[in-house]
Amino acid sequence: MPINSFLYPAKHVPVAHEVANSCRFDDGSSDSMTRDNGTPTNQKKCSISLWFKRTEPGLNKYLIVGFDDESNRTLLQFSSDQLLFQNQTGGSNNTIIKSNAVFRDPSTWYHFCVIVDTTQGTDTNRVKMYVNGSQVTSLASSTYPSQDTVMELTDAANSILINQKGDNSDYNSGYYSEVVVLDGTAASIGDFGEFDEDSPTIWKPKDVSGLTFGTNGFYLDFKDSSALGNDANGGTDFTVSNLTAIDQTTDTCTNNFCTVNSLDNYHQQATLSEGNTKITFKGPSSYYAYSTGTFGVASGKWYWETKATSAGNHNVYGISGRYVIAYNKGLGVNTDEYGYYNYNGNYTNASSDGSYAENSFSGGNVTWTTNDIIGIALDLDSGTNTVKFYKNNALIGTVNIIAPSSGFYYPAWNQFDNQAEVAQPNFGNPSYSLSSAQSDANGYGSFEFAPPLGYYALCSKNLAEYG
């Protein structure tokens, strides 16, 4: 089910430490980073902290790994959507901490933190796992290390791996931000974040640059798009595999952007990639493939674009006022669905639910095809709610819209032919190059064309002000 825009972290709360950038990783491209360790500071103490936004739930995927071989390694990973921390030495698992809770929401940024101090006398104090500032105490598995156990994470013989298992497999998909490892320091969770004074359930990042990192510690802030593996702490940089400047984004834990919702993708008939900013329709079996965005809105004025990277004959981009999880109809079968149809250039919207209808724009119909950029401007603030459709910055038509059945309107994409087509939505962090980057009036987002006056990118900072 889509996630409404008023749940954290779509909600924006001012923070003392604003995070400028993240890095977008994709498993289909085998995106990863690696770095060899030096002589460790202290293998009995370490800390791992990172912010992560998932795009591909339901799989066993790896976040940070200290790897020598399959018998000697430290793992922080998703295991069937549960968070798992594991240390293995000589083929023996001496540490296993696994959450009962699952973490699969593609609309949210999570803060994951593991703090290790095996010198502690009490076994449960030797490894502590935190999610969004709160310690994880409901565990599916718990094997605590013996006192003074050595962690493989920073061992001199090992490498630190970001986004892969260690044998060039099980790559993850999602956005990383503020990635930190401390070698020889068992930090406090308060070193990495804090709860908001006015909204005490909301966890916010803190500036980590002043922490003690140790020999093999590092800080990845992804601020240099030409060198995404730079260690901002000044240590050895990571070797980057398959990542380019386009993978640097402004979608972060302090300004969360809308993407395509992997949990509202009809029968998974479309493959999502590039941080859920690329939709690949699967072809012959994908009739009525239908996806929506992660943010639903009930007020405000919003703008986004979609590049028709490969368009067939029957593609519709628009908005939907309902969920599509078990929905095998086209966009425009219901009264609260509106789409711009490429085949004959009209708009789709039914006069009654269950009755697909195509309608002519008042100024005439204009078709669109491969490489065209379709802009959508949604106005829920002007009394008479409207959606405007653009083709390559030319306004094609304005349509009055009704109240949505779910209470929210979601960005939506639909294909109902049997071709392997590609659409690339852009909410401000495109996975394709722009000829001329344009932001909204607040300076957020990067679009091919300037958003119409008074319309804004779908991100948490704008939602806090206008949503």
Within 10 A of 7 (CB to CB), how many other CB atoms are there?
12
pLDDT at 12 over 70: no
What confidence category does residue 198 fall into, taking pLDDT thresholds of 50, 70 and 90? Answer: confident
The one-letter amino acid at 167: D
pLDDT at 11 over 90: no
What confidence category does residue 288 fall into, taking pLDDT thresholds of 50, 70 and 90? Answer: confident
What confidence category does residue 404 fall into, taking pLDDT thresholds of 50, 70 and 90? Answer: very high
What pLDDT does residue 1 have? 40
pLDDT at 20 over 90: yes
What pLDDT does residue 8 have? 35
What pLDDT does residue 173 have? 95
pLDDT at 326 over 90: no
What pLDDT does residue 270 have? 85
pLDDT at 295 over 50: yes
What pLDDT does residue 323 have? 76
What pLDDT does residue 289 have? 83
Question: In whole angstroms, what is the distance from residue 333 CA to residue 327 CA?
Answer: 11
Average pLDDT over residues 412-434: 92
| Cβ pair 55, 67 in contact under 8 A | no
- Selected from 3.40.190.10, 3.40.50.300, 2.60.120.920, 1.10.3720.10, the CATH number assigned to the domain covering 260-466 reads 2.60.120.920
| Cβ pair 414, 331 in contact under 8 A | yes
Topology at the third CATH level for domain 19-249: Jelly Rolls (2.60.120)
Q: Indicate the burial class of 6 (C-beta count within 10 angstroms; 0-12, 13-18, 19 or more).
A: middle
What pLDDT does residue 4 have? 38
Average pLDDT over residues 267-276: 86
HSE at residue 414, side-chain half, CA atoms within 13 A, is 30
Question: pLDDT by residue (tens digit) across 145-194?
Answer: 999 999 999 999 999 999 999 877 789 999 999 999 999 999 999 999 99
Sign of torsion, CA 144 145 147 153? Answer: negative
Q: For the chain, which residues make up each domain, given as ranges? A: 19-249, 260-466
Average pLDDT over residues 195-224: 95
**What percent of the chain has pLDDT above 70?**
94
Question: pLDDT by residue (tens digit) across 213-223?
Answer: 999 999 999 99
Average pLDDT over residues 440-460: 98
Average pLDDT over residues 435-461: 97
Average pLDDT over residues 407-426: 91
